[in-house]
Structures are given as C-alpha cells and as structure tokens.
Amino acid sequence: MTQTVIDVPAALAALSAEERDALLRAGLFEANQARVRQLQLELAEARQRIADFERRFGCSWTELDTQGLPESASPADHEAYVDFAFWQAVASEKELLLAALAV
C-alpha cells in the first residue's frame, strides 16, 4: 500500500494514533464516494454529448473516426467532429478514473 505524508491540525494530531487513523480512513472513504458521484455525473454528461453527436452523424465515434468526414463536410461538421473527439476522450478518462476508484 502506498503511504502519503500529510500535515494534520494540532487537534487531530493530539488524538491517539488509532482514533486519528480511523478518522482519516473514514474521511478518505467519504471523499472517494463524493468523487465517484462527481465523476458519474461528468460521465453521464459526456455520454449524453456523445449520443447527440451519434444522432447528428448517424454513426458511432469509432465509425466516424475510421471513415472520417466526407469531402462535403461543412465547417460546422468539422467543429462538431472535434467536439465529438473531445467528449469521447472525456468519457474514456472518466471511465478509467471510476474503475480506479471502485471500492
């Protein structure tokens, strides 16, 4: 297990090691749960944006990225393509973080 050194307030430092460790473990658990909830919201937003792009382009990101935009694509289509790539990357990042934080 990785160890991290942190500075704690004097009141916390004055507690027994057992009590201090219990509080820190509980605090980390609650912080982890809060972060998981935030990441789930961010992932839901990314997935919604991806679904919007899939409806717009009529295919998945993988298909679009493989095929590319047609020659007749408008500047707005090119901008949407870049946005699509961004939200796909966001979703992938959030999925990795959620997997890492799974308790």
Structure tokens at 22: 């219990």
Average per-residue pLDDT for the chain: 94
What average pLDDT does range 76-95 have in this prediction?
96
pTM over 0.85: no
What average pLDDT does range 40-48 have in this prediction?
98
CA atoms within 13 A on the CB side of 11: 1
pLDDT at 1: 80
What average pLDDT does range 40-63 have in this prediction?
95
pLDDT at 103: 64
Give alpha helix (H) positions in the chain. Answer: 10-13, 17-57, 61-67, 75-101
The domains of the chain are located at: 10-101
- The length of the chain in residues reads 103
